[in-house]
Chain A
Amino acid sequence: MKRWIALLAALLPLQVLALSGEEVMKKSQAAFLYPGKDFKARVLMKLVGRDGQERVRELTMLRKNAGAPGGEQKYFMYFFQPADVKDMTFMTYKYPAKDDDRWLFVPALNMVKRIAAQDKRSSFVGSDFTYEDVSGRDLEDDSHAIEREEKLGTRDCYVVKSTPKVGDAEFGHKLTWVDKANFLPLKEEQYDKRGAKYKLFTADEVADVKGTPTVIRRTMKNLQSGHRTEVTYLKSDYDLGIEDSLFTERFLRQPPRKWID
């Protein structure tokens, strides 16, 4: 009898605290894509072909949240490499449940143009990451269920299955291993319509940046083509006080040195 009570006592708080798949993904989105009021990183992307040929994309990424996690965000990117896109800048206003607004500055012509952005699942600068992988997929687009809980290495994780509510051309569902302690996604498997695993995301290194656990190395591998993209955040920082005015045409054309270095 005592044993039963002890067991019940152990289970009760868990029952009360148990999170739904939706809640886990919401916390994961907040931890992975929304920490801080703003964020800056020098991003090194290595695109590696099956034959081992490497191409490098290097950029500074700045992000600013408009409000609470899940809300609007603004992104500003400045490219260092490759040489033919050096000094190019790219700006995104990301809205929940609505297509992004995107602008591109082409330095060779000193021209700013708006670009069409309805396909969030298209490749980001030719890498294996899609726009959605970089800035997040709308949580409301999928239904989320906790499949199981298991250890990934030494970390206790929720394994969440996310299935699109409305049919998608290629994307069937995904499984995300969310760290129970800090809610960062440590691994994600994307499955196509037929249930075949075609993309694998891994968080390869998590570091503490100003008290915030941050994924500073990650890989996305296309399991069908064998192509992969390794991303390293060389410098990351939060709460730098990035002004709203940065995300305007003025600075798209003339990115301020203090923010892009």
Chain B
Amino acid sequence: MDRLNARRALALSALLLAAAPAAAESMVSGFLQQNTAFNASGVNPDGRRYKRLEERVQLKLDASAGGWRAHFKGDAFYDHLGRGAATEVREAFLDYSGAAFDVRFGRQVITWGLGDLVFVNDVFPKDHEALFAGRPLEYLKRGVDAVKFGAYPKLASFEFVLARSFRESRIPDARRFRHFDPMPAVTDRETVKPGQGEWALRAYRDFAGYDAAVYLYRGFQRTPSTRPDDLAAPVRITFFHPELSVIGASLSGRAGSGVLSLEMAYYDSRQDRAGTDFTVPNSQTRLLAGYQLQPWEDFTLNFQYYGERMHDYAAYRAALPAGFPEDKRWNHTVTARATQFFLHQTLRLSVYAAYNASNRDYFVNPELRYSFTDRVWGAVGANAFGGKPWGQFGQFARDDNIYLQLRYEF
């Protein structure tokens, strides 16, 4: 399915390239990049000491004429850790903008919601390996192959996303990161992707100076669940994406001298509404409260509280097989980010830290980024993980890494 979409995206980009000279305006840009991430100590499951070692070139094409715009962003890269040479269509879409509506057709990155590396109503695919292996932040997001309609009547603004096929989030590669695996002996593993598409809706408007939005989603869990064929004597594990619907809301605006963000969502686990199937995530409520302020020049602080509550906790506990780690009903996470610019905003020091109080899990990411010139920048940073071996971050406790990014933009 994904290959088909990639082919479709390539066909679209070829069309864009052909159309570009005829357009009123076109623009080519891109970058060359080196990205290295090496383990702070120890080796990966694959025996290597690197999480990432690659050279990459990105080409961006933009063409517009009248109400039309075509955009293509594609990468070619060489991975020194066994994946070899490959290409990737990051975005490839065609826009049409009318007076009170617009349409975007093709592969596109969509980001909704207010969280900083915490996702409540941002139901779109991510690349978690990119985040944990020290790639530039833009690689956290994966595009979806969809049609997006925008309508902008006076009442409110609407965005409706319709995708014929499902695109999953990428979880860290098991050869490079040590996942928690309750059944390491079972090597026969298969992945089943949903055969159906998905849709999402966002409506937003201003309420007395506050940005308010409501969200709906009907599709599937982006990260796969694990199902053994037989609990007592498993020989095969199936990874699958359970059915999911989400309804949520967000609000952000000035409060005191900073910006307050509030967001919530109800995750309706449609595949197991009773909560009796331990392989399917329980229905959840997700809550986020964030506050961002600027205590002094070129320095910002952002604090977040993020909570997840399981709805059918008794059923979950009753269904959980012996020997499996038990999650708490409430999952509380706090995060903090501090960012300071120096040297006319050409040097940036930032630290992000997340701490999950429910299983004493943590993730810390300090980064120093410098623009050598207007075209060349480099960053050095680290990812540190810790906590319980089955926790979201704790499972990567031996995957701490230090990373370098160097980019030349043209």
Minimum CB distance partner of A117 in chain B = B294
B296 interface contact, C-beta 8 A = yes
On chain A, the residues within 8 Å of B157 by CB distance are 248-250
Q: Is the CB of A116 within 8 A of B293?
A: yes
Question: Within the complex, what minimum Cβ distance (angstroms) separates A164 from chain B?
Answer: 17
Minimum CB distance partner of A49 in chain B = B344
Q: Measured between alpha carbons, how far is A111 from B110 in the docked complex, in Å?
A: 8
**Residue of B209, B254, B407 contacting most chain A CB atoms (<10 Å):** B254
Minimum CB distance partner of B257 in chain A = A118
B102 interface contact, C-beta 8 A = yes
Q: A55-B374, A126-B344 are in contact. Are A249 and B111 (CB under 8 A)?
A: no
Picked from B114, B253, B259, B374, the residue with its CB within 8 Å of the CB of A56 is B374
Q: Is the CB of B292 within 8 A of A123?
A: no
Q: Is the CB of A81 within 8 A of B374?
A: yes
A205 interface contact, C-beta 8 A = no
| Total contacts A-B at CB 8 Å | 103
Q: Which of B254-311 contact A (CB under 8 A)?
A: 254, 257-259, 261, 292-294, 296-298, 300
Q: Is the CB of A83 within 8 A of B410?
A: yes
B interface residues (Cβ-Cβ under 8 A, vs A): 25, 29, 31, 64, 69, 95, 97, 102, 108-111, 114, 136-138, 140-141, 150, 152, 157, 204, 209, 211, 252-254, 257-259, 261, 292-294, 296-298, 300, 341, 344-346, 371, 373-375, 377, 407, 409-410
The 5 closest A-B pairs by CB, nearest first: A126-B345, A83-B409, A108-B138, A82-B374, A126-B344
Q: Measured between alpha carbons, how far is A119 from B102 in the docked complex, in Å?
A: 36
On chain A, the residues within 8 Å of B300 by CB distance are 115-116
Picked from A47, A81, A118, A245, the residue with its CB within 8 Å of the CB of B293 is A118
Question: Within the complex, what minimum Cβ distance (angstroms) separates B57 from chain A?
Answer: 14
Q: A101-B254, A127-B344, A257-B25 are in contact. Are A114 and B297 (CB under 8 A)?
A: no
Q: A55-B346, A55-B373, A123-B345 are in contact. List 11 more A-B contacts (CB 8 A).
A: A82-B374, A83-B409, A108-B138, A109-B138, A114-B211, A114-B292, A115-B259, A116-B300, A118-B257, A254-B95, A257-B64
Against B, the Cβ 8 Å flags (1 = close, 0 = not) of A90-112 are 00000000010100000011110
On chain A, the residues within 8 Å of B109 by CB distance are 109-110
A interface residues (Cβ-Cβ under 8 A, vs B): 47, 49, 55-56, 81-84, 86, 99, 101, 108-111, 113-119, 121-123, 125-127, 227, 245, 248-250, 254, 256-257, 261
Say what secondary structure dominates the interface of chain A.
loop
On chain B, the residues within 8 Å of A55 by CB distance are 344, 346, 371, 373-374
Q: A108-B137, A118-B258, A126-B344 are in contact. Are A250 and B150 (CB under 8 A)?
A: yes
Question: Within the complex, what minimum Cβ distance (angstroms) separates A142 from chain B?
Answer: 20
Minimum CB distance partner of A93 in chain B = B209
Q: Is the CB of B259 within 8 A of A114?
A: yes
Picked from B95, B111, B209, B346, the residue with its CB within 8 Å of the CB of A111 is B111
Q: Is the CB of A101 within 8 A of B209?
A: yes
Q: Measured between alpha carbons, how far is A122 from B294 in the docked complex, in Å?
A: 10
Minimum CB distance partner of B377 in chain A = A84
Q: Is the CB of A254 within 8 A of B102?
A: yes
Picked from B114, B152, B341, the residue with its CB within 8 Å of the CB of A250 is B152
Minimum CB distance partner of A126 in chain B = B345
Question: Within the complex, what minimum Cβ distance (angstroms) separates A121 from chain B?
Answer: 7
Minimum CB distance partner of B100 in chain A = A245
On chain B, the residues within 8 Å of A113 by CB distance are 114
Minimum CB distance partner of B408 in chain A = A83
On chain A, the residues within 8 Å of B136 by CB distance are 108
Q: Is the CB of A254 within 8 A of B97?
A: yes
Picked from A109, A116, A125, A261, the residue with its CB within 8 Å of the CB of B258 is A116
7 contacts between A and B (CB under 8 A): A83-B29, A99-B254, A114-B261, A115-B300, A119-B296, A245-B152, A250-B157
Q: Is the CB of B294 within 8 A of A118?
A: yes
Q: Is the CB of B297 within 8 A of A110?
A: no
On chain A, the residues within 8 Å of B257 by CB distance are 99, 116, 118
On chain B, the residues within 8 Å of A99 by CB distance are 254, 257
Q: Measured between alpha carbons, how far is A55 from B374 in the docked complex, in Å?
A: 6
On chain A, the residues within 8 Å of B371 by CB distance are 55, 82, 84
Minimum CB distance partner of A225 in chain B = B344
Q: Is the CB of B111 within 8 A of A110?
A: yes
Question: Within the complex, what minimum Cβ distance (angstroms) separates B147 from chain A?
Answer: 15
Q: Measured between alpha carbons, how far is A99 from B300 in the docked complex, in Å?
A: 16
Minimum CB distance partner of B253 in chain A = A114
Q: Measured between alpha carbons, how far is A261 from B409 in the docked complex, in Å?
A: 21
Q: Measured between alpha carbons, how far is A81 from B29 in the docked complex, in Å?
A: 12
Minimum CB distance partner of A121 in chain B = B297
Q: Measured between alpha carbons, how far is A256 from B102 in the docked complex, in Å?
A: 12
